[in-house]
Amino acid sequence: MKLRVFCLVVFLLSGAAAGTDLLPTVVVVTTGGTIAEKVDPATGGAVPAVSGSALLAAVPELEEIAIVEVVEFLNIDSSHMTPEIWRDLSAKVQEILDRTDVRGVVVTHGTDTMAEGAFFLETTLESEKPVAFTGSMRNGSDLSPDGSANLYNAVLLVCSPEAAGWGVTVVLNQYINSARHVMKDNTTNVQTFDSGDFGYLGYITGNHVLVYNTVLECTRIPLPDSLPEVPLFYTFAGDDGNYIRFAVDNGASGIVVAGVGAGNVNASVFHAIEYSLENSIPVVICSRARHGEPEALYGDQGGGSSLVEAGALLAGDLSPFKARLLLMIALAQPDMGSDEMGLLFNAN
C-alpha cells in the first residue's frame, strides 16, 4: 500500500497529472498592431492600448495546449515599423529560440507590415524551430474582434508537428502563409493575407492543421549589426529617373526598382539605373505586377534583357518590399561578393 501512495505522490508532484510536463513551452513576443489596439474616444481612432499579458489573459484556452510565456517587446502600429526594429526583434527572437525548453515563438504584430517583418526574421534567424506571426484586422473595440482566435491558432501551429520545416509563417483567419510569399491584399477584410500563385501552406480548423503545401525556398543570411540604405522606386509613366540619380548621389548602398510588366522601365530610368551601376551601387529589378516574375524578355533600352545586360539583378519571386529587405541584409554582410549576390536573387 505504502508503495502505491508513494507513486501517486510522485506522479502528482511531477505535474504529470496536470499534464503541464507534456505541454510545450511557447513564447509570445508582442510588438503592437491592431490586435493590441482599442478606439480612443477622444479621436475615434484605434490606438495601442492592450498589453501583451492582457492579450494572453483574454485567451484562457491557451493553457490547454501550451505553457505560454509573454515578452512585451513593443506596442506600436506596424505602420511605424522599421528594418532596424526588425533587426532588434530578430535578435530577441533568436535569444528565445536558443532556449532548449522553447518549442517555438509567436510574434504578434500589426498586419500592415507583417509580411515584411516575417520575411526579415525568416531571412536572419538561425533556427529550425517554428515562428508564427499573427495579429488582427479588427481592434478590441470592434463588434467581433479576430485577435484572440488568431493568437490561439498561432500558438497551436507552433506546437503542431506540421509546422516543422515551415520556418516563419503568417497565421490569420485560419490560413497559414509562408513568410516569403505572403502579402496583405485587403485593407480591412479579416481574410487579407494570401500568397498569390504559391498558395497557402495550410489551414487551421478544429484544433488541427491541414497541410496544403511545402515551403519552396528559404534564404538564410546572418543577422547584421547595422543595415544600409536601400530605397525602393515604383516606376510610372513619364518617370524621368531623377529620384534614382538623387539616391545614388545621396547615400544609397543599393536600389530596388519595381518595373512595369515583366520588369521593364523607360529609357530615362534605364540610364539612371546605368548611372547607379557605374557607381558600383547594385540595382534589383522587380515588377509592379502581383503575379509572375521579372524576366529578361524585352531588348529595347529599359527592357528586362537590357537591364540584365547592364548588370541589374532580377528579383525572382520576391515582392519589391521583400527584395529591398533581402538586398539590405545582403549588402550588410562583410564578405558578400557580386557573384553570391547574384545567386541570392537570380537563383529563384
Residues that bind ligand ASP in the complex, under the rule CB under 6 A: 33-34, 77-79, 110-112, 135-137
DSSP class per residue in 278-302: HTT--EEEEESSSSS---S---STT
Annotated catalytic residue within 30, 31, 34, 219: 34
CB burial string 278-293: b at 16+ within 10 A, e below: eeebbbbbbbeeeeeb
Cell of 170: 503568417
Q: Which residue is nearest to ligand ASP (CB)?
A: 110
> Residue 139 CB, nearest distance to ligand ASP (Å)?
8
- 15: amino acid identity, one letter: G
Complex with ligand ASP: residue 45 or 161, whichever CB lies closer: 45
Query: How far is it, in rounded angstroms, from Cα 204 to Cα 198?
Result: 18
Complex with ligand ASP: residue 142 or 217, whichever CB lies closer: 142
> Residue 77 CB, nearest distance to ligand ASP (Å)?
4
The strand pair at 202-205 and 313-314 is best described as: unpaired
Is the Cβ–Cβ distance between 134 and 154 less than 8 Å?
yes
> Residue 197 CB, nearest distance to ligand ASP (Å)?
24
Complex with ligand ASP: residue 115 or 168, whichever CB lies closer: 115
φ, ψ of residue 91 to 5 degrees: the values are: -65, -40
**Closest to 285 in 3D by CA, of 248, 331, 234, 335:** 234
Is the Cβ–Cβ distance between 170 and 182 less than 8 Å?
yes
Is the Cβ–Cβ distance between 75 and 128 less than 8 Å?
no
**Three-state DSSP class for 127?**
coil
> Residue 246 CB, nearest distance to ligand ASP (Å)?
29
Complex with ligand ASP: residue 103 or 184, whichever CB lies closer: 184
Complex with ligand ASP: residue 136 or 266, whichever CB lies closer: 136
Q: Is 34 a catalytic residue?
A: yes
> Residue 140 CB, nearest distance to ligand ASP (Å)?
12
Residues annotated as part of the active site: 34
